[in-house]
Amino acid sequence: DQLRQHQYGMQAGRTFRAMHRVVSEGLQSGDVPPTRLTPEQIVFCIASTAIGSHIMVGNPHAAMMAGIDDPSQAVCQNLGVLWDGLGWKPLSGEWDYEAVDRRIKQEVFPEATWFKP
């Protein structure tokens, strides 16, 4: 219905604005090296990778053909490849992002069943 679509659009807008803020701060701080891409293009790339990854792992046949056992991990890995490709510091090989995810799960979402770091 229209109300639900409006609410979805509002939340999507909030998400894109938050992502834009993080990307812009990364560029300003030097955590993301200078690039020809605009913050908007980087946000679009991140969102496209995340959404595409969710679609692929949500398709049991595609996930099976790709050898994906853990869909959540696959989405995170895909985004890590993207961020590493942008040179976003610290690179995945320089930081234990899985430990960060575990800490977030324990401290922020202890009862969540959907968050599986």
Convert the pLDDT of each residue in 15-74 to its tens digit: 999 999 999 999 999 999 999 999 999 999 999 999 988 888 888 888 888 888 887 788
Measuring CA to CA, which residue among 66, 69, 96, 64 is closest to residue 80?
A: 96
Mean pLDDT of 73-96: 92
Query: What is the per-residue pLDDT for 58?
Result: 81
Q: Which residues of 46-70 are buried (b: 16+ CB within 10 A; e: fewer)?
A: beebbeebeebbeeeeebeeeebee
Query: What is the per-residue pLDDT for 37?
Result: 97
Most confident of 5-14, 17-26, 75-84, 103-112: 17-26
